[in-house]
């Protein structure tokens, strides 16, 4: 797919002067009503509704090289630092200086218009995004729209799953735009792998829907969805989660400002799950890992 034209077009409809609130908020306590840790963790993993590729859950396999697009420098740096800290906290690696960006966080004043412009400007390339991603993005109802591309190939280059999410615009095609992307970038990270791995991801943040969010809260929300590939805006009912951030802000509740213990336990479980098993076996491993982590720290919940 010719993704160069798609991402260059993508760039021209971005807005560069928006910012988010830096108000400090307190975290909420963890409460699970009437359920054991095992029941609650099973519900959490099921309700986040992770996408499957070739019958498996995908994760990031290569170091993550993050780029902020459209943010005021100090705001973007704050969010980037928080996301990178979460990446390292789950035991994954961040890219070194000069790495090829494979994850981007874009600030826009009109995401729906941005995506519709892409659809009309480069229809063939835009059609390579999955139908679900296109529908969600163009609806313009999410505070943060997530686009994920997977790399799922055999060692000899054969595509293993043609129904997987197609790669969104490649971040490394922004090298011609000074100040918007790291220097010394090189070829695409999309290569040949045996398992399903996220190859590129983009979060488009609607500046009109993030009023009241903190830098740490917003970055934690983005990190959880992008590390797990949550292209759907799903929220588990088990335990507190940063995924309710924007619902809490709309209802004038006090939201979390960081990943909850449940969110962190989920990410650690996902990245520790066996890569060569089915999604069902991986889900079992995630639940088991979460149950162990949460049971060690929560004396008030029945084990």
Is the alpha carbon torsion for 279, 281, 286, 287 positive or negative? positive
For residue 148, give the H/E element and its range: strand 144-151
Q: What is the structure's pLDDT at 297? A: 62
Degrees to nearest 5, angle at CA 65 with 11 and 195: 105
Report if pTM > 0.85: no
CB 235 within 8 A of CB 241: yes
CB 271 within 8 A of CB 90: yes
Among 73-77, 134-138, 202-206, 294-298, the minimum mean pLDDT is found in 294-298
The mean per-residue pLDDT over the stretch 156-170 comes to 46
CB 266 within 8 A of CB 48: yes
First and final CA of the chain: distance in angstroms? 50
CA distances from 165 to 43, 74, 168, 250, 291 (A): 25, 33, 9, 31, 30
Span 110-125, pLDDT tens digits: 888 777 776 787 677 6
Span 195-243, pLDDT tens digits: 778 888 889 899 989 999 999 999 999 999 999 999 888 888 877 899 9
């Amino acid at each position: 797919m010719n993704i160069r034209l798609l991402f260059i077009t993508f760039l021209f409809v971005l807005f560069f002067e928006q910012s988010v609130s830096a108000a400090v908020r307190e975290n909420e306590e963890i409460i699970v009503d009437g359920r054991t840790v095992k029941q609650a963790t099973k519900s959490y993993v099921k309700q986040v509704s992770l996408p499957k590729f070739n019958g498996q859950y995908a994760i990031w396999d290569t170091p993550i090289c993050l780029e902020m697009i459209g943010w005021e420098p100090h705001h973007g740096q704050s969010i980037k630092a928080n996301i990178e800290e979460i990446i390292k906290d789950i035991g994954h690696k961040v890219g070194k200086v000069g790495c090829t960006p494979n994850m981007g966080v874009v600030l826009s004043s009109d995401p729906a218009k941005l995506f519709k412009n892409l659809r009309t400007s480069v229809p063939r390339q835009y059609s390579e995004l999955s139908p679900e991603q296109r529908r969600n993005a163009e609806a313009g109802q999410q505070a943060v729209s997530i686009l994920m591309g997977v790399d799922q190939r055999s060692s000899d280059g054969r595509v293993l799953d043609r129904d997987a999410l197609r790669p969104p615009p490649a971040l490394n095609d922004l090298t011609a735009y000074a100040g918007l992307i790291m220097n010394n970038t090189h070829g695409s990270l999309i290569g040949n792998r045996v398992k399903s791995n996220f190859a590129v991801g983009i979060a488009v943040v609607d500046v009109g829907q993030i009023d009241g969010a903190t830098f740490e809260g917003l970055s934690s929300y983005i990190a959880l969805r992008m590390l797990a590939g949550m292209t759907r805006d799903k929220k588990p009912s088990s335990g507190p989660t940063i995924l309710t951030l924007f619902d809490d802000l709309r209802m004038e509740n006090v939201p979390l400002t960081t990943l909850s213990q449940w969110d962190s336990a989920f990410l650690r479980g996902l990245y520790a799950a066996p890569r060569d098993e089915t999604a069902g076996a991986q889900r079992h491993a995630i639940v088991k890992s979460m149950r162990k982590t949460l049971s060690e720290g929560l004396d008030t919940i029945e084990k």
